[in-house]
C-alpha cells in the first residue's frame, strides 16, 4: 500500500535560518511526489512536484526538494525562512493514473522573529 | 490566475440534516475530486469524478454521500443525513488530467460542523 509519513508534526525556526521539513514515502511503483502549503483560511497551494525528470526540484518562494529513491525520501528545504512561510505543509504522493492523492499528516511550520 | 472556489466557507448543520457543499472547478479541467480533513487527522481522499461518473471512491464514501455536476460549472458533494463524525474540512480539487505528473488544484475548503 502507498503511504506518506511526515516525520515532524511541528517545526519551529527563526527568521533567516534554514528550513527542513521531512517526508518519507512508501510506494510499490515509481511515484510522483508533491508538496502543498496551506496558509490560514486559504486553499492548498502547490509548492513543487517531482515527476522523475530531475531529482532536485525547485518550487515557488525559494523552496526546493530532493527525491532520494534509496532513502524513499522527499524532504522540503529552504535556505532562509521568512515570516510569511509560516503555514501547514503537506507531502503528497500519487502512484497511479487515477488522480487520487495520498497525503501525509502535515507539518506546521512556525517562524519566529 | 484560475482557481477552484468553494462555498460556503463554513457550514453549521444539525445532525440528521442534508447538506450540500458546492465547488466551481477550474473551467477547462475535466477531473474533479473531494477530500476531507477531520481535525487533527490526515487529508483523506473521498471520491474522483470524470465524464459525469464516479471513477474512484474510498471506503469513507458510503451511501450517505453523493456527488453531482448539475451544470457545466458546479461540482457538488451531498451528505444525506449528517452525523457528528462528518464534521471536517472538505476540499474540492480539479485537474486537467490524471497522469502521474499532473497536479491537482484545490479550493480553500468548506468547514462543516455538525451539531
Any idea which fold B5-96 has?
Immunoglobulin-like (2.60.40)
Intervals of chain A under pLDDT 70: none
The reply to whether A59 touches chain B by the CB within 8 Å rule is no
The pLDDT of residue B72? 78
Distance from CA of A113 to the nearest CA of B (A): 27
pLDDT of B40 higher than 90: no
Structural domain tally of chain A? 1
- DSSP assignments along B2-44, one per residue: ---EEE-SEEEE-TT--EEEEEE--TT--EEEEEEE-TTS-EE
Query: Domain holding A30: CATH number?
Result: 2.60.40.10
Contact A99 B33 (CB under 8 A): yes
**B93, B101, B108: residue with CB nearest A51:** B101
Q: Residue A85 sits in which domain range?
A: 3-112
pLDDT in tens, B55-104: 999 999 999 999 999 887 899 999 999 999 999 999 999 999 888 788 99
The reply to whether B107 touches chain A by the CB within 8 Å rule is yes
The pLDDT of residue B97? 83
Amino acid at each position: 500500500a502507498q503511504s506518506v509519513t511526515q516525520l515532524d508534526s511541528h517545526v519551529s525556526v527563526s527568521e533567516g535560518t534554514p528550513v527542513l521539513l521531512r517526508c518519507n514515502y512508501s510506494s510499490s511503483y515509481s511515484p510522483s511526489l508533491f508538496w502543498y502549503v496551506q496558509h490560514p483560511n486559504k486553499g492548498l497551494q502547490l509548492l513543487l512536484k517531482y515527476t522523475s525528470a530531475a531529482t532536485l526540484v525547485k518550487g515557488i518562494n525559494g523552496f526546493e526538494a530532493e527525491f532520494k529513491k534509496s532513502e524513499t525520501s522527499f524532504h522540503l528545504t529552504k535556505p532562509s525562512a521568512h515570516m510569511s512561510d509560516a503555514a501547514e505543509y503537506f507531502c503528497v504522493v500519487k502512484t497511479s493514473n487515477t488522480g487520487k492523492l495520498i497525503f501525509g499528516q502535515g507539518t506546521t511550520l512556525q517562524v519566529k522573529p | 490566475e484560475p482557481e477552484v472556489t468553494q462555498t460556503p466557507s463554513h457550514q453549521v448543520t444539525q445532525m440528521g440534516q442534508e447538506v450540500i457543499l458546492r465547488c466551481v472547478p477550474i473551467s477547462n479541467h475535466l477531473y474533479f475530486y473531494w477530500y476531507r480533513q477531520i481535525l487533527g487527522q490526515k487529508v483523506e481522499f473521498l471520491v474522483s469524478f470524470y465524464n459525469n461518473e464516479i471513477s474512484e471512491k474510498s471506503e469513507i464514501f458510503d451511501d450517505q454521500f453523493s456527488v453531482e455536476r448539475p451544470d457545466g460549472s458546479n461540482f457538488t458533494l451531498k451528505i444525506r443525513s449528517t452525523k457528528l463524525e462528518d464534521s471536517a474540512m472538505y476540499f474540492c480539487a480539479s485537474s486537467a488530467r490524471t497522469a502521474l505528473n499532473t497536479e491537482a488544484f484545490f479550493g480553500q475548503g468548506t468547514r462543516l460542523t455538525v451539531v
